[in-house]
Chain A
Amino acid sequence: MNTKLISFKNVTVSFWQNDFGVHSIKDLMKHRKQPFSNKIILNDVTFDVERGACMAILGRNGSGKSTLLRTIAGLIKPIKGQITINGTFAPILAIGAGVELELSGYENINLLLSLYGRYKRNSNTIQDIIAFSELSHEQLSMPVKRYSSGMVARLAFSISIANDADILIIDEVLAVGDKGFQQKCMDKIFGIKAEGKTILFVSHFTEEVMKICNTALLLDKGNLIDSGTAEEICNKYMRLFP
């Protein structure tokens, strides 16, 4: 079996960006220029992730971490380069990822599980999710828009780990949970890691990163400037902010 779970080769991602604040046809008429220009977000990124690795992605705000995660998950198509993936994904776990605000907790559980492609779900899965989130029946029955941000994070995290995918992607989500839940998530992450699954982890807390991850990438302005063990990269990352 191939041990390389994810392989990026010279991947470049660019977004269309409207430079003149063109948001309507009226603006377009006024400028009469190309309404969109290409903005490079990730530039020529090359790296591999081994099966079972636990990799952190570090970098300043706006350096392209979330974009890199979305590209790995196949949400963004690169304009150049090659991506090979040999596994399945849990959805990206960002704050409030994919949660529909108008729907209740229960409805969200059903919707998201179906969207992840879990069509053979049993009531056990749902029980596990509810138990892990520690949300009460009353809370799960009300629309998510009335949740606190920690409650949304609990719901999203619980749903997303119920999915036994090969790759877990976590984008700064643990920060909003309370102490108890953070601990619980950490335990769960270690559990998932012990099962030999792969974890991609974005966080600005270097202690967390060093506890969970073995390897790391450092991004700056869309360029991959370094990769190595978690400790090395964390130190380099700290030195970005003298």
Chain B
Amino acid sequence: MQNITRIYALSKRNIILRYKNSFAGFLWGFLKPLLYLLIFIIVFSSQVSANNYVLYATSGLVFWFFFSNLTHQSVNSIINSNGIIKSINVPTIFFPLSEAISELFNLVLTLVVFLIAMHWFGLVYSPLLVFVIPAAILFAIFSFGLSLILCSLNVFFRDVGILWTTVQPAIFYLTPIAYNKEMITKNYPWVVYYNPIYYFIELARTILYQNQMPNLSLWGICFGIAGGMFLLGYVIFNGLKNQFISTI
């Protein structure tokens, strides 16, 4: 109970901090995907064989930005909270966790707007859409696991944060978000199939775009990757957490 209040307070802090002193504030959550969408429509829509390109790209974009914001915010979560870590006994895992929760909150808002707006672009309302929730949770667990690794290593090697900001756009363009996966799988199938993010995007997109239930093996793969990443992250974080205070 005490801990729930703490995580809630930290998540609230993150949200306040993020939008403080910014004019558009919360709107940025929507403006960013929207801007990318416009670029994609201009660049890709004639090359990609999707019968509804706007819905296709947007459903991928929403989830990509969830992943990208979450990891980006978490990388520095430990370093930025050094004042609290040095004076209050709060489990350090709460800092990346609260980042993940505030980003989930953002995703929920974005998805609500998405569901309303995309109706005009051919999104079919059906009970199946409920499965977006477990899909988002699996993706969140995966992203949180990765964040644990990034933020704990970043305490000792600040390169990790810089490196992550640098490789993120590369991952973005190598993941079939704006284009069909066939554009890559023709020549370099491994680029897609070894990319864990591809599976989560595919999961969400099967529900939102194709309006179908993803098959069991896709759920299984996502479940496995999410669980594995979370465990790995947790082990690394736990191994390093006692020395955070001496380095930040």
A75 to B82 Cα, complex, angstroms: 12
Chain B, interface residues (CB within 8 Å), range: 20 to 34
Q: Which among A97, A103, A143 is the interface contact of B87 at CB below 8 angstroms? A: A97
Chain B contact surface mostly:
helix
Q: Are A103 and B83 in contact (CB under 8 A)?
A: no
Asked if B243 and A91 make an inter-chain contact with CB atoms under 8 angstroms apart, the answer reads no
Q: Does A172 contact B (CB under 8 A)?
A: no
Knowing A97-B83, A97-B87 are in contact, say whether A114-B9 is a contact too (CB < 8 A): yes
Fill in one digit per residue for A63-95: 1 if any B CB lies within 8 Å of its CB, else 0. 000000010011111000000000001011110
Which residues of A sit under 8 angstroms from B86, Cβ to Cβ? 70, 75, 92, 94, 97-98
Given contacts A23-B158, A102-B20, contact A89 B89 (CB under 8 A): yes
- With both chains docked as a complex, state the minimum distance between the C-beta of A95 and any C-beta of chain B, in angstroms: 10
Q: Flag whether A17 is at the interface (Cβ < 8 A).
A: yes
Shortest CB–CB separation between residue A53 and chain B, in angstroms?
21
Which of B5, B157, B159 has a CB less than 8 Å from the CB of A117?
B5
Check B89 against A111 for contact (C-beta < 8 Å): no
**Total CB contacts across the A-B interface at under 8 A:** 88
Cβ contact within 8 Å between A26 and B159: yes
B218 within 8 A of A: no
* Interchain CB contact under 8 A, B83 and A98: yes
Out of A15, A110, A119, A143, name the residue touching B243 (CB < 8 Å): A15
Tell me, yes or no, whether A241 is within 8 Å of chain B by CB.
no
Whether A91 contacts B159 by the Cβ 8 Å rule is: no
A100 within 8 A of B: yes
Q: Which residue of A lies closest to B160 (CB)?
A: A25
A110-137: contact bitstring with B at CB < 8 Å (1 yes, 0 no)?
A: 1110111101000000000000000000
Complex Cα–Cα for A76 and B245 (A)? 7
- What is the minimal beta-carbon distance from A114 to any residue of chain B, in angstroms? 3
CB-defined contacts of A36 to chain B, threshold 8 Å: 156
Cα–Cα distance between A212 and B8 once the two chains are bound (Å): 38
Interface hits, B96-145 → A, CB 8 Å: none
Residues of the A chain whose Cβ atoms lie less than 8 Å from the Cβ of B247: 16
Within the assembled complex, what's the spacing in Å between the Cα atoms of A240 and B88?
32
The 8 Å CB contact of B90, one of A28, A70, A94, A115, is A115
Report chain A residues within 8 Å CB of B159. 24-26
Q: B44 CB to closest chain A CB, in angstroms?
A: 35
Give the residues in chain A near B5, CB-CB below 8 Å: 114, 117, 119
| Chain B 1-25 interface mask (CB, 8 Å, partner A; 1/0) | 1101110111011001100100000
Residues of A within 8 A of B158 (CB): 23-24
B81 to chain A, nearest CB (A): 9
Let me know if A150 is at the binding interface, CB within 8 A.
Answer: no
Let me know if A44 is at the binding interface, CB within 8 A. no
B184 at interface by CB-CB < 8 Å: no
Q: List, in ascending order, chain B residues with CB within 8 A of A75's CB.
A: 85-87, 89, 245
A119 and B13 contact, Cβ closer than 8 Å, known pairs A77-B242, A96-B83, A100-B83: no
Least CB distance, A73 to chain B, in whole angstroms: 6
Q: Which residue of B lies closest to A143 (CB)?
A: B20
The distance in angstroms between the C-alpha atoms of A194 and B13, with both chains bound, is: 36
* B90 near A102: Cβ-Cβ < 8 Å: no
5 extra A-B contacts, CB within 8 A, seeds A24-B159, A25-B159:
A15-B246, A25-B157, A98-B86, A102-B20, A107-B13
What are the 6 tightest A-B residue pairs by CB atom distance, in nearest-first order? A114-B9, A15-B246, A97-B87, A119-B5, A117-B2, A91-B88
